[in-house]
A = this chain, B = another copy of it.
Amino acid sequence: MQGPAGVRSKKRITSFDIAQFAGVSQATVSRALRGNPEVSEQTRQRVAAAAAALHYTVDKNASGLRGNSTGTLALLFFEDPTPDDSHINPFFLSMLGSITRSSARYGYDLLISFQELGRDWHADFAESKKADGIILLGYGDYLAQTPRLQKLRAQGTRLVSWGAVRADQPCVAVGCDNFHGGRSVAEHLLDQGCRRIAFLGDASHHFPEFQERYRGHQQALHAHGIAADDVLQVDAESSQSSGQQAAETLLARGTKFDAIFAASDLIAIGAMGALSARGIRVPDDVAVAGFDDIPMAGFVNPPLTTVVQDTQLAGATLVESLVRLIRNEPIESTILPMHLMVRRSSLWRQASGAPDRRRGRTGIRR
């Protein structure tokens, strides 16, 4: 259905054709098209006109082979290997659009690839010269990746990662202010009168973003003279099913709690499902808040209070950082601001009129 097998109807147009058409040498065509300032404006325009007339575009492969850049950025999504080909975290999905647009704005193509965290991904992209630089995206155990990142960096590979920003980062990172995000969620829940706030999310150093959110949470508690209680923290990774399990684990512990701060919206939504299955009402019995503001967050019932990360800005910053790295311009890691978005799921005090409910009580009701 696509024309004779293996036959392209036209011979490829090359820079030599443009040279002939414009009456200059092939080398000049190349210079003119690359915007080399040594080329005279008049020549540049003649070449540009010839290229347009013949619908010429520079061959990416030849250009990439001869020069030292490919004009391509690689976006690597890291996922834990899920058996069930499941959906991508919607938060990352919404960053994808902005990363793509930003790449285009800088004149780069974007190669995307899903990687399992365990796999030998480092060789592939930089070394086979598929891309000039790499953006790393994904929650995950960054600690396990550190040696690889350091090796890559030593080889001169340009890479920027999304996530936790810390001093010992093996590469330039862009992330949002997880600490203050976590603190503002906890403060908000405390303002609602909640006192026994559970935290659902792996708060170990294996998940530095969650860990920062938890640190913010703890600081807010501390400022209110409340001691953190380990029984209120349950590990979870960022998925609905993990959130559901974590909530069930929490319920099984039989401890009292009046709020849940979930380390991500997916965890929060999973947890709300578990609560609802037990007949526990949100926010009347338990206030719930998440993190990320995925598109779904405003549509669940009740709408989810969460922390908004500006994915547009995040994507743009990632790309800009990487481009600067490629151009050998100075660049530092960036912490982006976030803000709390209060929706109904966390309005606990308002949910009940009774002032006595402001004190700790059992979140578990039947």
Contacts and interface: CB of A to CB of B under 8 A. Distances in A.
A129 B60 CA distance: 6
Contacts of A296: 295-296, 299
Interface of A: 1-10, 55, 57-65, 70, 72, 85, 87-88, 90, 93-94, 96-98, 100-101, 104, 109-114, 123-124, 127-130, 153-159, 171-172, 269, 295-296, 299-301, 312, 325, 328, 331-332
Contacts of A8: 155-156
In this complex, the member of A70, A111, A171 whose beta carbon has the largest number of chain B beta carbons within 10 angstroms is A111
A1 B110 contact: no
Contacts of A4: 156
B65 A61 contact: yes
Contact of A128 (B57, B98, B110): B57
Contacts of A72: 111
A351 to B, nearest CB: 17
A111 B112 CA distance: 6
A161 B67 CA distance: 34
Contacts of A312: 85
A103 to B, nearest CB: 9
A331 B2 CA distance: 10
Contacts of A269: 299
14 contacts: A1-B325, A2-B158, A9-B154, A55-B123, A57-B128, A59-B128, A61-B64, A88-B97, A90-B90, A93-B96, A100-B113, A104-B113, A296-B299, A299-B299
Given A3-B153, A59-B65, A127-B57, A87 B96 contact: no
